[in-house]
Structure 1
Amino acid sequence: MSQILSPAIERPAAGRALGRIFVSREFSVFAALAVLIIVTAVVNPRFLAAQGVKDLLLNSTIFVIMAVGLAVVVITNNVDLSIGSILGLSAFGTGSLFHAFPSIPIPLVFVIGIVLGALLGAINGLVVTIAGVPSLVITLGTLYIFRGINNAWAGSTQYFIGNEPKAFGNLSVQTLWGIPLFAIAALIVVILAAIFMFGTRAGRDLYAIGSDTEAARLFGINVTGRVVGAFVASGALTGLAGVLYASRFNSVGADTGTGFELQIVAAVVVGGVAIFGGSGTVTGAAIGAVLLTTMTGALAALNVSKFWQQAIVGVLIIAAILLDRILSVRTARKLRVSEARNV
């Protein structure tokens, strides 16, 4: 009898799970991305040519990796506005390493870039937690400090791909099964981060901290350690993105990464991560990054002026924040109704 009844019991549960997927913010962003690609391809078929698809994947790779790192920080109800400067330091540091030590092993360069980013992230995390000052203020300051260090270090120097080993420059064009290696690396980062956030206690602690920091502290969660760890993770991933940037683009210098922080914050918010912390996923942030980079390419393919490209992205950010606010109010209302019924 149990064998006969079990499918009937499982189907509603499966249906509810499927329903939750379809109403999730991640699915909405993915659907918007699919519609954008289809409409652009219909108007301009060259948009989905083989090289065009590769360019889309490569252009989104760096933003995806940075968005995943920043999402971890934002989930704790913090933000890191210095990530563009961290990427600039890592990218220019990569060029400097190859200039000073032409035969340095490429894997070691990646390790140094990641460690540099992690150290800068640790500085942000420690100052935020020890000083008790909002992360928006602290990281706005370190944005200029790190950028100033990069300006003093780089000056007018520009390092081009020609200054680096050919093997390093070729990393950005190598593929596996037709997929760029950089895109595969970004996918691995997203998967590992998603497993960490939902499959480990440390990851779940970050959500608890973002929802209610004081309650998390009373519950015994090491808030300082977790928040510093989130900043370190974001810095490490940004450092990785800086090394990839040095391989992907023709030059790195004092202004590398300028303005990236706002684009990554936009990607995270559009991807469904609540700006006040406590909800959202790294997967959604990654999809948001792909959506924004694809939108830029799509609008260019549709011959939309650069001004309107920026305006449309701005409208998208505002819409995402308003939607997040509406959903939060609706959820709070449902909870109040549920509590009233239980009384």
Structure 2
Amino acid sequence: MQNTIVQQPDNDSKLAEKKSILANLSKFRELGLLGFIVVISIVVQLRNSNFLTVENITDMLTNTAILSILAVGMMLVLVTRGIDLSIGATLALSGMVVAQVVSNNPGLNPLLAILLGMVIGIICGGIIGCLVSKLGILPIIATLAAMYIFRGLTFTVSGGKWISSYQMPESFLSIGTGSFLGIRYLIIIAIFIYVVSYYFINHSRTGRQIYAVGSNPDSAKVSGISETKILLLVYSVMGGLAGLSGVLWVSKFASAQGDTASGYELSVIAACILGGVSIAGGSGKLSGVILGAFLLGILDNALPLLNVSPFWQTGIEGSIILFAVIVNTLVKRSVERNNLLRRKI
């Protein structure tokens, strides 16, 4: 009896210590990701002094802006245990339609062009949301079908033709290339999206309900939360951000094509995974998603500066993503195992 009494506190202390370490790993994952970004930046700077120049940093932030905007919407979808493979096609469709409108109406206010793109995206997202929430179609099936439909509509609307910079007014092109007080409009728009999303996720009832639906749909339903409304909302928000990104993309690259952003949805999902968003739903932080997108932006910029072969660049990025997934899985399993063990004790 005496041995049991002496041994029990020792076991409890070891368990508490192990749980504390794992909890800290989970809690400060974003800090570790930031540290990884800093280490990569230092290494690249030592190899190429042009990396951390103001001009290059501005280019990286600008190039990452669209990716990070889309990643914010994808995070909400993943939190609800869903996925959206149609965002690249939605982006292309909204960009093509808006490009045609501004080319035929050069005097159109750029804000109206942005609004039009978002409306197109919200309609596309709303359709997917209805398929998933009301008809019960699996998100991966619904969005895969929508991807082909929206991509086909883009080619149909354009007639297979491109719209180039000389067909677009300068006022529209300035959305992607202009700046205010030395800060690019794309960066300003991205920051605005971050701020609004942070408030929505952390300080609104609906934001908490999104996480509740992703964590435990049955409990959320018992609590009176409408899963149908939440799913319709998140896919509509994702569509709206994809529509916005379509306008920004076409303005930035001064070109609207039928295959614009083909496969880009995979980069967006990768940014979320790097940022610690769980594909199983229920967890994910805005700060992590932004850092994940920024890490991909750094890799896209740094690897060419290091003269890494394009064939290796994709492999390196994939390896980093795989490593992040493995770490997430191990930490999550360990935390769950120790929580279960603690309840038994």
Q: What's the TM-score, normalizing by structure 2?
A: 0.90
Query: Could you say which residue in structure 2 is the equivalent of 1:239?
Result: 243
CA distances 1:139-165 after superposition (whole Å, capped 9, x unpaired): 111111111111122233111222122
Q: Does structure 1 retain, via aligned residues, the 8 Å contact 2:25–2:331?
A: no
CA distance in 1, matches of 2:116, 2:25: 39
CA apart distance, 1:24: 2.0
CA apart distance, 1:122: 0.6
When residues 179 and 20 of structure 1 are mapped into structure 2, their CA distance, relative to the original with a 3 A threshold, is: farther
Equivalent of residue 214 in structure 1, options 212, 215, 218? 218
CA apart distance, 1:20: 5.2
Q: Does structure 2 retain, via aligned residues, the 8 Å contact 1:22–1:28?
A: no
CA distance in 2, matches of 1:141, 1:282: 28
When residues 219 and 22 of structure 1 are mapped into structure 2, their CA distance, relative to the original with a 3 A threshold, is: closer
CA distance in 2, matches of 1:136, 1:24: 31
CA distance in 1, matches of 2:32, 2:258: 38
CA distance in 2, matches of 1:263, 1:333: 31
The gaps in structure 2 that reach 5 residues or longer are 1-19
RMSD: 1.7
CA distances 1:42-90 after superposition (whole Å, capped 9, x unpaired): 1101112232122111110100100001111111110100000001011
Query: Could you say which residue in structure 2 is the equivalent of 1:147?
Result: 151
Equivalent of residue 337 in structure 2, options 316, 333, 336? 333
CA distances 1:89-108 after superposition (whole Å, capped 9, x unpaired): 11111211112222111111
Query: Could you say which residue in structure 1 is the equivalent of 2:274?
Result: 270
Report the residue type matching 1:243 in the other structure: V
Moved more, 38-47 or 167-176: 167-176
CA distance in 1, matches of 2:74, 2:144: 14
Q: Does structure 1 retain, via aligned residues, the 8 Å contact 2:69–2:190?
A: yes
3-state DSSP of counterpart to 2:177: coil
Equivalent of residue 100 in structure 1, options 79, 85, 104? 104
3-state DSSP of counterpart to 1:329: helix
CA distance in 2, matches of 1:120, 1:74: 18
Equivalent of residue 305 in structure 2, options 298, 301, 321? 301
**What pairs up with 1:1-343 in 2 under 5 angstroms?**
23-341=27-345
Report the residue type matching 1:80 in the other structure: D
3-state DSSP of counterpart to 2:302: helix
CA distance in 1, matches of 2:312, 2:159: 33
Q: Does structure 1 retain, via aligned residues, the 8 Å contact 2:97–2:157?
A: no
CA apart distance, 1:195: 1.5
Q: Does structure 1 retain, via aligned residues, the 8 Å contact 2:213–2:227?
A: yes
CA distance in 2, matches of 1:322, 1:155: 44
CA distance in 2, matches of 1:259, 1:317: 16
Q: Percent identity?
A: 33
CA apart distance, 1:218: 1.5
When residues 23 and 282 of structure 1 are mapped into structure 2, their CA distance, relative to the original with a 3 A threshold, is: closer
Query: Could you say which residue in structure 1 is the equivalent of 2:3?
Result: none
Report the residue type matching 2:274 in the other structure: V
3-state DSSP of counterpart to 1:88: helix
Q: What's the TM-score, normalizing by structure 1?
A: 0.90
Query: Could you say which residue in structure 2 is the equivalent of 1:11?
Result: none
CA distance in 1, matches of 2:334, 2:324: 15
Report the residue type matching 1:263 in the other structure: S
CA distance in 1, matches of 2:27, 2:80: 24
Pairs aligned (count): 324
